[in-house]
Amino acid sequence: MSVRNNAAIAGLGITPMGKIFGRSSVDFAAEAIQIALEDAGLDKSELDGLLVNQGPTAPNPLILQGGGGIGLQPYLGIPELRLNLNMQGGGATAGQMVHFAAMAVQEGLASVVACVFADAPLREGAGAGAAYGGAGRVNLSTAHGKFGALSDYAMAAQRHMHQYGTKHEHFGAVAVSQRKWANMNPRAQMREKLLSLEDYLSSRWIVEPFRLFDCCLVSNGGVAVIVTSAERARNLRKPPIYIHGLGQAHFGHASVEDAPSIDETPIKSAGKAALEMAGLKINDIDVAEVYDCFTYTVMIQLEDLGLCGRGEGGAFVEDGKTAPGGSIPVNTGGGSLSSYYMWGMTPLSEGIIQARGEAEDRQVKEKPMVLVTTEGGQPWAYGAVTILSAEKP
């Protein structure tokens, strides 16, 4: 039996998000799992699988003395698990965890699996820019002024501009569109703050061609998802969200200099695989929740998914196709740019909310077919695509 007929998402847990100080990553992780279990109508004693994606600044309480999610298990007070694993593919891990959990449920390795991400990089009195500063990591690249993912993605964006004529206004269109969605999202960190293209263009440079509003937020918090069998999910508190399609692709390089291409992402192959498993074409998708550490990453993934041609991402977003009222709504909660940054759990959580029909003012349609991308590593190292719907396969 295929995963698409046998596994479903039954619970979603989202903690308070943003400048929430004085709490550890493990505390956020435990709360997110408890909220997800309550959302599904399950007791903690029924949880027998745990998949943990540890945030980049999470201190060792998430793992304590050993590897994987071992430290989180005693914190939760669970004496025995059948499945317990730490997974790390950067921002792609949320999708990878759901895929692994679905296969584990299908094969009987576990019956109720929690997939969780948590991090607490923000510190009271310190700026958000210090959260992922990478202090102390020095190598040949940093010696020449190149630090972390920001500069790598900036190089890839510059290449797109050079090759296809992409403009700053195109990046701005992504930021403005997603802020409009965030203005309708009660959970969004930037819900009360409007953003115009003029605001975007007048914001300060971070690393050219990225301005302030090209870059994702920094958030403290946690998100958890409960995966179980489709049969069991149908008898729980919330209607099941069926997993229609799964796809992964990984380039595996360590830096942008080693990337096989900065003009194509693993999402191209992963999206094709997920659509084939679901028996769908890209035009069958009603809403896309796309990993958005930067505005540029949204554009190139839309190209790789086949929603527009190579190099046409800028024009595609500029005319409002992805904004409220557009033909293909994208990042309907505001995404990591304007809602909250929980790595790949940001697009996954909003995808579940849309699939459930719980998005209120920003709901795109009843029972939409939702495509979620999660991507990680120094540009385009890892990618996963998941297709979800409340409609049974």
* 3-state secondary structure (DSSP) of residue 350: helix
Q: Which of 132, 153, 242, 341 is catalytic?
A: 341
In order, the DSSP letters of 84-127 are EEE--BTBTHHHHHHHHHHHHHHTTS-SEEEEEEEE----TTS-
Residue 162's CB: how many other CB atoms inside 10 A? 9
How far the first Cα of the chain sits from its last, in Å, is: 12
Q: What share of the chain is helix, strand, coil (3-state, %, to 5)?
A: 40, 20, 40
CA distances, 114 to each of 15, 45, 83, 122, 242 (Å): 15, 12, 10, 25, 16
CA dihedral 72, 120, 347, 350 (to 10 degrees): 80
Residue 291 bears catalytic tag: yes
Helices of type H across 136-212:
140-143, 148-164, 168-182, 197-202
| Token duo for residue 122 | 């923000």
Of the candidates 80, 16, 78, the one whose C-alpha atom is nearest the C-alpha of residue 43 is 78
From 153, 291, 340, 382, active-site residue: 291
CA–CA gap between residue 163 and residue 159 (Å, rounded): 6
- Annotated catalytic sites, by residue? 291, 341
